[in-house]
Amino acid sequence: TFNYLLSLVRPVLTRKTTNWRRPYEPSLRLAVVIWWYATPSEYRTISCLFGVDVYVGWPGRTHDARVLSNSTIFIKAEQQDGYLFPREMSRDINGVEKWLMKGFTQHHRLTPEQSTFNYRLSSARMVVENAFGRLKGRWKCLAKRCDVDIHIMPDIVIACCILHNV
């Protein structure tokens, strides 16, 4: 029955794979929806069960590196148990995470390949920035000065993410 239902909705649930992201499989997307419809589970429970998540909780002025280093995805990646990345992808000799892409510096002395890499990495980052822009465009409360207690803001952002994806 699940496979039959999946065969009916697969074209609608299939998303394009790009160089910058791998979309969730239609079977996972359908399973999440069915679970959500069938149980009174909270979103955080569904997040843990199916490995789908959003991470909010830091003011916009906080540096990206600080937000990342305190996020659950970073903590899971640092566990080195192969949860997100194989052990050989975890750290290089200099202590920098191999799974964390960083652009080349010394822009005046880059090879064409390095310049192309920097351009594509910047393009991937723009996808994230555009997603924030779309959220702020649809939910005006995110585009203006915060008039509520800062501790409530993560819940508001999560609610906007959920409503955006309904």
| Whole-number pLDDT of residue 47 | 78
State how far the Cα of 55 lies from the Cα of 77, in Å rounded to an integer: 15
CB 9 within 8 A of CB 30: yes
CA nearest to 29, candidates 7, 14, 17, 44: 14
For the chain, the structural domain boundaries read: 1-53, 60-98, 101-166
> What pTM does this model have?
0.46
Displacement of CA 20 from its chain's centroid (Å)? 11
18-38: pLDDT as tens digits = 766 678 889 988 888 888 767
66-108: pLDDT as tens digits = 777 777 777 776 666 655 555 444 444 445 566 677 788 887 8
Residues in the chain: 166
- DSSP code at position 91: B
Look at phi and psi of residue 162 and say left if phi exceeds 0, alpha if psi is from -120 to 50, else beta. Answer: alpha
